[in-house]
Amino acid sequence: MRQRVEIYWIKPLLVFVFCCCCSNGVTGENKPIQTFVIPHSHMDVGWVYTVQESMHAYAANVYTSVTEELSKAKDRRFIAVEQEFFRLWWDTVATDSHKRQVRQLVKEGRLEFIIGGQVMHDEAVTDLDDEILQMTEGHGFLYETFGVRPQFSWHVDPFGASATTPILFALAGFNAHLISRIDYDLKDAMQKNKKLQFVWRGSPSLKAQQEIFTHTMDQFSYCTPSYLPFSNSSGFYWNGVALFPDPPKDGVYPNMSLPVTKDTVHAYAQTMVDNIKQRAEWFRTNHVLWPWGCDKQFYNSSVQFNNMDPLIKYINQNSKEFGVTVQYATLSEYFQAIYQSNLTWEVRGSEDFLPYSTEPYQAWTGFYASRNVLKGLARQASSQLHAAETLFTSYRVMFPDGPVAKDWALSKLRALRWAVSEVQHHDAITGTESPKVADMYLQHLKQAMMGVEELLAALFLLPHSLNRPNVHQPLEQHVIVYNPLAWNITTIINITVTFPNAAVYDDKGQPVPAQIQRSAQSNVTNDLFIMVELGGLQQRNYLIKFSEKHCSQRPKCMWTYEAKGVLFERRNIQAWRKTGRRLLPVLSGCYKLMFDQDTNLLHSITHLQEKREVMMTQDFWEYHANGDVKVGPISDNYIFSANSSSVRAYKAVEMEIIPGKIVSEIRQYFYRWESDKDYAYSVTTRVPECFGTKARCLRLEQTYSLGPLRLNTEVVLRTSSSLKNNRTLYTDDNGYQMMKRPYRKFTNNTLARNYFPMVRAAYIEDDVSRLVLVSDRAHGVSSQAHGQLEVMLHRRLWNNLPWNLGYNLTLNDSSIVMPTLWMTLSSISATSTRYQREAIELQHRPVVVPIDQPSVSFPVHSVVLPPNLHLLSLSVPGWNYSANHDVHLSRKGEHSEPDYDRVLLRIMHLYEEGEDPELSKPVSINDLLQGIGEVKELEERSLTGTWDLPSLQRWKWKTADNLDTKFKTCRSCGNFTVTIAPKEIRTFFVHFSSSNF
C-alpha cells in the first residue's frame, strides 16, 4: 500500500533525505558497507482491486516474469511473500516448464518464500486463531510442494505491530522478524540511537523461550526511494506503473524510469550509494538491507533486472571510491550476516507498537472499527470453521468408512480455510479496502460458509440413512445443538420462531426449561430461549413442540415461561433535570441492575455477593468527522482524527423490560429526535439467571443495533462508571494477551492516539472492581475520562481527499450493524479467572442446526480439558507430506492422496504467570482425546505443523542476560502425558489406533 505511505509519511521526509550530510561509508574495521539488495513485489490480496483483477493485471506476470529472469543469471534473487497469489499462479497459470524452474530456484535458495502465510495479516484487529490458520495454510502448501519451511518474516505493511505476532512466528520456527510501520516519532528516535534492531520477548510468561530477533525498517519503509535528483521518473522502478484492468498491448507502461546507460549509471550509483550510507548510520552492523521494489513491481522483471545488473556491477567496480559493495540477496542472507556479527542485542519486553501514527494528526486508529459487518462475518466464519473441523475430525475417527465422503468434506473445509485466511490480509479485515473488494471478501466468506453448512448438516444426520419417509409435522421442530469447545457448558440458545407457544424436550424426552417472548427484531416472530447442557465436543437433539394456543396442562406449562414486556414512556434528554428519583431494579442471582425511569438509562449495578454498588450508565455518542481536507485533518478508512469531543447521538430514549425466569431482557431504543418514528440505535441487554452456576449469570449479554449512520459520524457506546481507573485501559493483543494502556497526552491528536484495538476483550479497573467487555468482533476502544470505557462500533465517512476519491477508499458505509458484547462487573480476582473463557465462549457459541426429522447422531464421549486449557485446533488438515523430513524430501514432487488419518491438535494455556493462584500453574494432561478414540501416536510439531519440534533449532541471539531458551518437547510422547505452562501453545500430530481407522 505504497501510495498511502508516500502521502502521509515518506514525502515530507524526502527533502531531508537528499540534503543531509552522509557518512564516509566506512564502519567497523574500515570495511565498505555490505549492501543486500532484496528484490520483492508487495502484492495486496485485495485493497483497491479484487484478487481476480490483480491476478489478471499484474500478479500472475510477477511470478512468470521473475521465474524466467532468475533462471537467466545465477546472482539474481527474489523473495515471494503472499502465498494466495503464488498458489493461484502455481495452480492456474504456471506451465510445467515454469514449475521445473521454480523448483530449481527454490532448491538453490534464489527464490525464497518469506512469511509463507496465505497473506501478510493485519496485526491490530486479527484474532489469534485466524493468524495461525492463514500461516498454517500457506506453510502446509509450501512444505508439501517444495519441502521448504519459511524462517523469516516480512511484515512491512500492517498498520502497527502486535506483540503476539513475533510469538507466533517464533512458535512456527522463525529465526528473525521484520516490521516497518511504527509511530513516526518513535521510529525517528530509534533511528538516531541505532535501536531499530532488538530481541523481542513478546510474552511476559514465555519470556526468552519464544524470543525473536526483530529488525525495524527505517524511515524509507519497504519501498525503494523513488526520488531521483536528475529525473522526474520514479526512481528504481524501471518497469513503470501497473495498469488496470489490462496491461498495455505495446508493453510500455507509464512513468518508466530513465534506463541505466553509460550516461546515467553514475548518477544512479551516486543516488543509491548516498541512500545506502544514510541508512548505514541507523544500524549497528556493517550491513544494510536495501529493499528493491514496491507495490505491484516486477510484473516485467526483465526490465528491472536488466537495469539493476549494470548498476550493481558499476558500484562494485568502484567500491573503493564509494565505500560500498552491493549484491542481490534474499532476506535469509541478510539475517545470516547480522547473526554472524555476534553482537549483543538489547531486549524489548512484551509491549507492542500500537497504535500507529504517521504524523501528528494521522493516528491510524479508525480502522479498528471500519466495516463492522465484514469484521463480524469474518469472525463468524472462523467460528463455523472451528466447529466443522472438530466435528469432522470426531466423525473421521469413529467412522473412517462412513457415508460422508471424505474428499467432499475436505473440499468444503478447505474452501472456508482459504476464505477465512484471505480476509486476514491487512487491507481486508481492517476495512481499508474499496467497496468492491469488501464485497469480494464477503462473497467468498458467504459462499464457503454455505458449503460448510452442507457439511455440518451431513455430519449431524449421518451415519444414519437420510432416505427416511418424510413425516409432515408442522407443529414440531427438531434442532441439533453442538458444543465446539472442549469444556462442559450450560448456556442459553435463542431460536426465532413464529408460534407464540412452545414446549421443549431433550433427546431423552425430558422437558427442558425454556422461555418465549416477542422478538426484539420483529413484531411477527418470537424469541425462544432454551437452556442447554452440553459436554465438550458433544451434540444433543432437542424437540420443540409448537402451539397456537396457550398451554393448559399445568405441569407441562411450567417448563416454558411466557414472558411479557412492560413498555416505559419515551424520555427526552431535555427533561433530565432530576434523575435517580425513580429507580427500577432488575435482579438475577448475581446482580441488581437499577434503571432510571426519568432517563430510561442504566443507573447502577450492584454485585450481590461482593455487596459493591458501582454507578454506571451506557449510551451512544458520536464524533462528527471533518470531510474537507481544506478545513483540517480528516477521518477515513484508516485514520481517526477527531476535531472535537463527542456529542450525544440521541435526543430521547425508550425502554422495555421483559422479566423472565431464564433471562430478563432490557430493550433500550435511542432516537435522534423525540418525534422520530424509528430509533437510530438500540441496546438489548440479557440478564441470565443462574441455574446452578454463578459463572454464567455474571455476564450481561448485550446486542446493539446501529445504522444507517449519518454521513461523517463515528458512533461509540460509552459506558461511564464510578470506577477510579485514572483513564488506564487494558486491551488484548489478538486475543492472546492483555496489554496495559495508560492514558497519554500528546501535543496534537491526544483523543485519537489513545484509541486501541480490542479483538476479544478490554477492561478498566480500580483497586476493588473490574469492568470487562468481551466482543464477537474487533472494535476500537478507549478510556477518555475517569471510569469510562468507550467502544467505537460503527463509522460512516466521506472526504474529498483526491487519493481517497481516486481509489474509491471513502468509507460511505450505510449498513446496519449488530455487534455483541458481554459485560462482567466483579472483583479483579473473580474476573481474572473468567474473562479469557468468556471471550472464547462468545466466539465459539453452540452451533444450532434445525432439521426436518429426528436424527440419532453419532455418539461422542465428552472431551473436557482443565479450565485453564483451550482446545485451539482439532482438524484433519489433509496434507500429503510425510512427518519425517528426510522421507518427505525423498518423495518430493510425487503426487499422493491427502492424509485423512493425521489429526492436527493444538492446546493453549489461557493464563499468564501469576495471574491466578491456581489457574496460572502448569497443567499436565493425558488421554485427553479418549472421548474421541484411542491415541496410537502423539508427536509434537511446530505451530504450523511443518517442523518435527525436537529437530527445530532456532537461532539463539546474544542478549545481555542470555536467559535460557530451552523448553520440553516430546517426539513420541510416553503415555501421552503433556505438560503445558502458562501461555504456551503446543501443537501435535495425532494418530488414532487401527481399531478406529
Active-site residue set: 157
Helix (H, G, I), strand (E, B) or coil at 373: helix
- Nearest-Å Rg of the Cα atoms of the chain is 29
Residue 240 Ramachandran class (φ > 0 left, ψ -120 to 50 alpha, else beta) = left
Is residue 689 within 8 A of residue 661, CB to CB? The reply is yes
- As a whole number of angstroms, the distance between CA 211 and CA 171 comes to 9
- As a whole number of angstroms, the distance between CA 481 and CA 491 comes to 11
Q: Which of 906, 901, 900 is nearest to 928 (CA)?
A: 906
HEC assignment per residue over 875-907: ECCCCCCCCCHHHHHHHCCCCCCCCCCCEEEEE
What is the DSSP code string of 239-306? Answer: T----SSS--TTSPPSSPPPP--TTTHHHHHHHHHHHHHHHHTTSSSSEEEEEE--BT--TTHHHHHH
* Single-letter amino acid, residue 528: L
DSSP E strand stretches across 187-244: 197-200, 212-216
Is residue 970 within 8 A of residue 940, CB to CB? The reply is yes
Q: Which of 413, 449, 367 is nearest to 136 (CA)?
A: 413
Instruction: Give the contacts of 990 (CB within 8 A, at least 6 positions apart).
Output: 902, 903, 904, 905, 929, 935, 937, 938, 939
Cis peptide before 245 (omega within 30 of 0): yes
- Which residue reads 466443522 in cell numbers? 388
* Single-letter amino acid, residue 925: I
> How does strand 788-796 pair with strand 26-27?
unpaired
| H or E stretch at 803 | helix 802-806
Is residue 463 within 8 A of residue 399, CB to CB? The reply is yes
- What the block records as the C-alpha cell of 244 is 488496470
- What the block records as the C-alpha cell of 237 is 522502478
- As a whole number of angstroms, the distance between CA 121 and CA 131 comes to 7
737 CB-side CA count, 13 A: 26
Instruction: Give the contacts of 670 (CB within 8 A, at least 6 positions apart).
Output: 619, 620, 649, 650, 652, 653, 679, 680, 681, 682, 683
Q: What number of other Cβ atoms are within 10 A of residue 505's Cβ?
A: 16
Task: For helices 406-422 and 83-92, give the axis angle rounded to 10 degrees.
Answer: 140
Longest alpha-carbon distance in the chain: 100
CA geometry: angle 317, 318, 322, nearest 5 deg: 145
- As a whole number of angstroms, the distance between CA 441 and CA 420 comes to 9
Is residue 668 within 8 A of residue 601, CB to CB? The reply is yes
- Which residue reads 480476509 in cell numbers? 423
510 CB-side CA count, 13 A: 7
Sign of torsion over alpha carbons 26, 322, 32, 217 = positive
Instruction: Give the contacts of 51 (CB within 8 A, at least 6 positions apart).
Output: 45, 84, 85, 88, 422, 440
Q: Please report, in angstroms and rounded to a whole number, the separation of the first and last CA atoms in the chain.
A: 49
